[in-house]
Structure 1
């Protein structure tokens, strides 16, 4: 048998494998940018969160790119994404051009997902405050409490019980946007609040804003939150809705 006889089956096999790989890559549902820059307090859970989000992307067939470089925020680069995840960002991060790029991204009908301290970001940017839904005010020490899942008709909460026992750092907010669709509230009677928000204390919400879709959850302070199946399904549902925009019922 000559060399050509050996090579033909090998080349055919290689071609099949290559084509299969290309099809698999091209059939990812959507592309997500995870941005985790901090210019204020930095949560030690950020690396765990980034790893968990990468696994979520692999397991649920979407593409993901992670960065802490604000120079990546340009019109050209953002055009390739469907969702931006603000992974516990803090402080004043973006210059005026980068802000305009994010605004154009949202106005084009795309999605934003905010996790935990995304509300502790860009206090001097009114558009962002309305987008993300509120500004961080304070938090007590980490505690276990009862969460009320008041809206289970959303992909981020389909799987959750009406009463959810959870341990976290519980944020209170100022400049809350009353137009958001609240999904989860904190029961302040079940933990020691520090100047809390009273009987109605939102912790997770969604809304459509300036042409785009926004999901925010205040949960996710701890490393181990990103190892919890319920929490990661909560995040996945928010990402999926922000990316796809399917009707919720």
Structure 2
């Protein structure tokens, strides 16, 4: 009888272990297995007024679409122990030289390990002296005309960040001209320079793109200078798709 009792208890223990294992895993990693992203918005040059609005919008997107969001302007987050917590890093309107050499190395290793990057608007006006970053973000800002309405051509509507957009998208924003455009980027949106004044990149003037880079993923949108952008559902879905692409399967 004792042997039979012990056998029953052993079987019950094994059964309970299989039932409870998923809950124990969830507890070990927090209350949910949500991916977490870091939104970085340090500026060492021009500071965009839409930074606060952009942070709020991304946090709201996270709550609605299943990812957690930390925001910072503290470059010390760029160390291995901190970065390993994040599925992706978003450079939101960063400008100028925002990371030191040690922090740059940590970020390079983070991307090389298969992580994701998303850049918004002035992310291309950042780290001109760091060629690796220039290749990652995909281009560098060179100039812009006054804010005005222009026609965007959505050249790739198969991507998660553009599949909801019309083929021709007319909107007002601040339109960047670029230099040192990475030849490996996959262009999602171009701007029609005949639809506004001040463009200098010619017939193929990219405004949003993505690419695999040095082991990781990179997505960039030039759009988002204006605060009004973050109340525009088409733009928000575009931004969400870019973040989701950067997160990937991390």
TM-score when scaled to structure 1? 0.87
| Structure 1: distance between partners of 2:228 and 2:33 | 28
1:236 matched residue in structure 2: 240
- Select which of 47, 51, 60 maps to 2:56: 51
Relative to structure 2, which stretch is displaced further, 27-36 or 151-160?
27-36
CA distance in 2 between counterparts of 1:136 and 1:158 reads: 26
Q: Which has the larger radius of gyration?
A: 2
1:122 paired residue among 101, 123, 127: 127
Give the Cα–Cα distance (whole angstroms) in 1 for the partners of residues 191 and 33 of structure 2. 36
- Alpha-carbon distance between aligned partners in 2 of 1:56 and 1:140, rounded to the nearest angstrom: 30
Q: Distance in 2 between matches of 1:109 and 1:53?
A: 22
Q: Report the TM-score, using the length of structure 2 for normalisation.
A: 0.87
Match of residue 209 from structure 1: 213
Q: Distance in 2 between matches of 1:237 and 1:72?
A: 24
Structure 2 match to 1:133: 138
Alpha-carbon distance in structure 2 between the residues aligned to 1:134 and 1:92 = 16
User: Counterparts of 1:241 and 1:98 in 2: how far apart (Å)?
Assistant: 24
Distance 1:186 1:108 in 2: 33
Which of 185, 188, 196 is equivalent to 1:191?
Answer: 196
Which runs of 4 or more aligned residues in structure 1 lie more than 3 Å from their structure 2 counterparts after TM superposition?
21-26
Shift of 1:23: 10
CA distance in 1, matches of 2:162, 2:61: 17
Residue 169 (1) aligns with residue 161 (2): no
Q: What is residue 200 of structure 1 aligned with on the other side?
A: 204
Paired residues of 1:213 and 1:245 also in contact (CA < 8 A) = no
From 32, 36, 40, the equivalent of 1:31 is 36
User: Match for 1:108 among 110, 113, 119?
Assistant: 113
* Number of equivalenced pairs: 226
- The separation in 2 between residues aligned to 1:237 and 1:99, in whole angstroms, is 26
Q: Matched residues in 2 for 1:245 and 1:238: separation? A: 14
Note the alpha carbon deviations across 1:3-30, whole angstroms, 9 max, x for none.
Answer: xxxxxxxxxxxxxxxx9x9799633431
Secondary structure of the corresponding residue to residue 26 of structure 1: coil
Contact 1:28 1:62 in 2 (8 A): no
- What SS class does the counterpart of residue 94 from structure 2 fall into? coil
Structure 2: tracts of 5 or more residues without a match: 1-23
- What corresponds to 2:6 in structure 1? none
How far apart are 1:71 and its partner, in Å?
A: 1.2
Any gaps of 5 or more consecutive residues in structure 1? 1-18
For the aligned residue pairs, the C-alpha RMSD in angstroms reads 1.8
Q: What is the Cα deviation at residue 137 of structure 1?
A: 0.6
In the alignment, is residue 145 of structure 1 matched against residue 150 of structure 2?
A: yes
